[in-house]
Amino acid sequence: MREIEYRDALNEAFDEELARDENVVLMGEEVAQYNGAYKVTRGLWDKWGDKRVVDTPISEAGFIGMGIGASMLGIRPVMELMFWSFHSVAFDQLVNNAACCRYMSGGLINVPIVMRGPANGGTNVGATHSHTPEGLFAAFPGLKVCSPATPADAKGMMKTAIRDNDPVYVMENTTLYGNVGEVPDSAEGDFLIPLGKADIKREGSDISLIAHGASVLRCLEAAEILTSEHNINAEVVDLRSIRPLDQDAI
The model's pLDDT over 21-64, given as tens digits with 9 standing for 90+, comes to: 999 999 999 999 999 999 999 999 999 999 999 999 999 999 99
- The pLDDT value recorded for residue 122 is 78
For residues 115-139, average pLDDT: 87
Model pLDDT, residue 189:
87
Dihedral sign of CA atoms 134, 28, 193, 5 in order: negative
Q: Is the pLDDT of residue 186 over 90?
A: no
Residue 60 falls in the annotated catalytic set? yes
- Confidence bin at 140 (pLDDT 50/70/90): very high
Q: What percent of the chain has pLDDT over 70?
A: 100
Whether 134 contacts 179, CB under 8 Å = no
Q: Contact at 8 Å (CB) between 26 and 205?
A: no
86-121 pLDDT tens trace: 899 999 999 999 999 999 999 999 999 999 999 987
Measured CA to CA, the distance from residue 150 to residue 70 in angstroms comes to 30
pLDDT of residue 14 exceeding 80: yes
3-state secondary structure at position 241: strand
pLDDT of 130 reads 80
pLDDT recorded at residue 128: 78
Cα dihedral 96→136→238→155 (10° resolution): 40
The single-letter code of the amino acid at 29 is E
Q: pLDDT at residue 129 above 90?
A: no
Assign 171 a pLDDT band (cuts: 50, 70, 90).
Answer: very high
Q: What per-residue confidence (pLDDT) applies to 97?
A: 95
How would residue 131 be classed by pLDDT, with cut points 50, 70 and 90? confident
Kindly state the average pLDDT of the residues 173-190. Answer: 93
The one catalytic residue among 30, 129, 131, 235: 129
Average pLDDT for the chain: 96
pLDDT at 174 over 90: yes
Which CATH number does 3-188 carry? 3.40.50.970
What letter does residue 81 receive in the DSSP assignment?
P
- Give the DSSP letter string of 91-147: HIIIIIITTTHHHHTTTS-----EEEEE----SSS-GGG---THHHHHTSTT-EEE-
User: Residue 96's CB: how many other CB atoms inside 10 A?
Assistant: 12
The band of 203, judged by pLDDT with boundaries at 50, 70 and 90, is: very high
Q: Domain extents for the chain?
A: 3-188, 199-243
Residues 202-208, mean pLDDT to the nearest whole number: 97
Of 60, 80, 134, 172, the catalytic one is 60
Residue 124 predicted with pLDDT over 80: no
Please report the pLDDT score of residue 36 as a whole number. Answer: 95
